[in-house]
Structure formats: structure tokens, C-alpha cells
Amino acid sequence: MAACITPATALAVPPLVEDSAGSGAGTPLRMVVVGDSVMWGQGLSESHKSSKIVQTWLANKLSTRVVRTVHAHSGAQIRSQAEHGGIFHGEIPSALPTVGAEIDDVDRPGEVNVLVLNGCINDLPSDALLGGPLNVAQLAARASEKCYLPVKGLLERAIARFPKAIVIFVGYYPLFTQNPLPGTNTLEQLQRLWCENGCGGINVDLKTRSRAFYDSSNTAIGRAVREVSIMHPTRRIKFAQWPYSESGGYGSGVSQLWSLSDQDEIQLDRIQDCAKAFLQTRSWKHATLCDKAAVLHPNVRGAQIIANVIEAAMSPHLLLLQLRLKVRNLGVL
């Protein structure tokens, strides 16, 4: 959920992060991460990102070295086709490269064992969940539109690009499971960050809008995953869905999301990159949003939930991953 800066370049982008976990002889397992700010891990130190947690889990489960390559970045859209472009930093919202372009940018795709990806929320208007011009029914319809066929196309692109990878598509979470308390200015502050032309005032039912997006987007993504799986029965394609809970949304006592009052784990470092981006865009709107870019994104608790659902989706395929590594190390593949 981001108003995006779009740097003017069409060069392929190298991975933003590439590291390894675990140890072991032979060829390491390759795990690639593409998508938007959720898969990037907005506001989180590297050790707390969901992809890092999953990487470490895989290394321990399989007793092998796991190389993690991250192309995901804040603000990434799917759009109607892959569009390349440069980014300032993974933390700074940028529409480009699109998620399809991130897939294209991965080198040695035939060696990738696991692909974790997401996408579609940034293809909706940035103010859609905060009371923008779409009513609840229109928001649900737009979420279904942007999270079904575009996701289906993205999955087709992914399985063609990564012929040996287990593919895990990660769904979205409920941003608000309760409305801000009367007398607070939480809604107004959020609207000032994301709404270009006003968001319908202070009587917006954020909980209802959030539930509409959660239900519609996850239903659409689940449908896309099922249909691609049926079309490609020999491939392992799974949907990792964040479980809905009445607690845990923005502002709740056990919130799993960064709030306006939080200082996220890398906010001070991000401010320096925000300043560099401002010198190119000259947009105070983007500078302010950049500073608070982690708001409404999974915090440390939320990242652990994402890791849990990814691990649950991947667990039935651990034996297959182990077998493929052994066969590769024997030189058969």
C-alpha cells in the first residue's frame, strides 16, 4: 500500500539482498523472494524479515546451506505486463520494477528450488482502504479484479521461468480489525499520508473496508493458485494465507503491524535514503510518506506470522526438496 516514486531507468536490477544460512557440503538450496513491501519486510531488520526466518528454518530442516535472493521491494506493482526500472532502495516505495520484471531479473532461474512471492495491493489506488472514492462494494470488486487474472498471469510467468521451483504465493492480511477510537486523530493522520484528494472524512469504517479487501483479495489469489495448479499438475504451487483474527490489526493491543507511533527497526537508516530520493523527486509528499513507509506493514510479530504460513505451505514438500538436492549433488540434474 504505497504512493510510489518511479525512477527513470529501464536497467535490470540486481538482487537487493543475497545471503546464506546454514552449512553443508554440495550445492546449496536456492530460495528467491519477489513481490512488494510485505515480502521485502518493510521496516524490519534483516534478521526479523519473514524470508530470513523461512531461510533459517529451511536450512535447519534440510541440514543444508540455503541461499536467499531478494528482488522484492516496496511499492512493486503487477500491472498488465512486466516493466523494468530502477529503485533507490528496497524500503522506498517504487512502482518499478514490477513483480514480473523482478522475476525476469533473477539469474540462473533453472537452479531455483523455492520461489516465494506476492503482489496486487499496489495495483489498487493507494487510498482505497482509507476511504477513497471507491465504496466498499467497489473496493471488493477492484480487489477481485487486480488479484485474480494479474496474479494468475504472474504465476504462469513464474512457473515458466523457474521450472524446478516450489512456488509459494503469500496472501494479504487485515489492516484494520477495529476502528480507531473516537477522539483520536489516527484516521486523519493516515489519510494525510496516503490520500491525494481526500478520503471521505472521519466517518470511514476502516474495519469493514479492510475485511472487504482481505476477503476479496485472498479469494481471488486462492482461485488463481488453484487454477494454475490444475493446469500444471506436476508443479507444486501453494497459497499461504494469513489467518484472520479480530485482534492484531492496526492499533490493537497486540498489533501485528507497525503504527504511526512506532519507530520501526530501520527508520533512522531509511531517512537518509529518503533524503536522496527527495533530491530527485522534489516531492514533499513522497518524503513524508517515505519517513513513515513502514506504517500498516507487518512488524516483528506480523513477520513471524507470514513465516509460519509459508513454512506450513512448504512443509509437505521438504522431502521433495531434499531429494532434488541429493540428486543434483550426484550430478544427475
Q: What is the pLDDT of residues 1-31, one digit of tens each?
A: 655 544 444 556 789 999 999 998 889 999 9
Going along 140-250, which residue ranges are E strands?
166-170, 237-240
Q: Which domains does the chain have, with CATH numbers?
A: 17-324 (3.40.50.1110)
The answer to whether 101 touches 123, Cβ cutoff 8 Å, is no
Reduce the DSSP state of residue 240 to 3 states and report it. strand
Q: Burial letters for 152-163: b for 16+ Cβ neighbours within 10 Å, e otherwise?
A: bbbbebbbebbe
Q: Mean per-residue pLDDT for 297-317?
A: 98
- The whole-angstrom separation of Cα 98 and Cα 81 is 8
Tens of pLDDT, residue by residue over 42-58, are 999 999 999 999 999 99
Looking up cell 540455503 gives 66
Rg (alpha carbons) of the chain, rounded to whole number: 19
Q: Mean per-residue pLDDT for 110-114?
A: 97
Tens of pLDDT, residue by residue over 264-295, are 999 988 888 888 777 766 555 566 678 889 99
Tens of pLDDT, residue by residue over 166-208, are 999 999 999 999 887 665 678 888 888 888 666 766 678 999 9
Query: What mean pLDDT is reported for the chain?
Result: 90
**Pairing state of beta strands 237-240 and 17-21?**
unpaired
- Residue 224 pLDDT: 98
Model confidence, pTM: 0.93
- The whole-angstrom separation of Cα 195 and Cα 210 is 16
Tens of pLDDT, residue by residue over 208-236, are 999 999 999 999 999 999 999 999 999 99
- Residue 144 pLDDT: 98
- Looking at 121-125, 151-155, 182-186, 190-194, which range is the least confident one? 182-186
- The whole-angstrom separation of Cα 57 and Cα 218 is 25
- Residue 9 pLDDT: 45
Question: What grid cell was written down for 270?
Answer: 531509511
Q: Mean per-residue pLDDT for 112-135?
A: 94
- The whole-angstrom separation of Cα 129 and Cα 1 is 9
Question: Of 2-11, 32-41, 120-129, where does the model show the most confidence?
Answer: 32-41
Reduce the DSSP state of residue 309 to 3 states and report it. helix
Residue 66: its H or E element: strand 66-70
Sheet with 166-170: list strands edge to edge: 17-21, 66-70, 29-34, 114-117, 166-170, 237-240
